[in-house]
Amino acid sequence: MEKKPAIVARRLTELREGICISQARLAAIFDIDQPAVFRYENAQSFPPYGVLMQYAEFFNVSLDYIFGRTDQPQGMFYEHPPRLSESDENLAAFMEMCFDPKSSANAKLKEAVLQIMKEQKQENPE
């Protein structure tokens, strides 16, 4: 199994070479040093979070792809949404946090969310 730094280095290189730009040009776009790009692409150092985000945004790929968690540039899709029940205390706390109690629409918004959850539950029974 390929180690994560090697996967990341390979993906960064493939992304850059895929659009035929030099390390120097990419470094200028990202406002970093060209030797840093060289080190990232050769797994001599691991790029910081901010640089990884720049790659993801610039090349329009997910961090899942850069990290080798998937071969799909858009990232992983999850088939199983979280299951919540109306009586879940965490859900109640979340809804209170999301909706302004001073708003006249507060009760209607909560009701709409609960209705959506009921419909979702009917469509996908456990």
pTM for this model (two decimals): 0.59
Q: Say yes or no: 17 and 60 in one domain.
A: yes
With vertex at residue 1, the alpha carbon angle to CA 14 and CA 56, rounded to the nearest 5 degrees, is 35
Q: Say yes or no: 57 and 97 in one domain.
A: no
- Structural domain of residue 118, as residue ranges? 89-123
Q: Distance (Å, rounded) from C-alpha 63 to C-alpha 53?
A: 8
- Convert 103-122 to b/e letters by CB count within 10 Å (16 or more is b): eeeeeeebeebeeebeeeee
CATH of the domain at 57: 1.10.260.40
**Within a domain: 73:** no
Total domain count, the chain: 2
Q: Say yes or no: 51 and 97 in one domain.
A: no
The candidate with the shortest Cα–Cα distance to 23, out of 9, 81, 79, 33, is 33
What is the per-residue pLDDT across 1-35, written as a single tens digit (0 to 9) for each? Answer: 567 789 999 999 999 999 999 999 999 999 999 99
pLDDT at 82 over 60: no
Residue listed under structure tokens 């001599």: 44
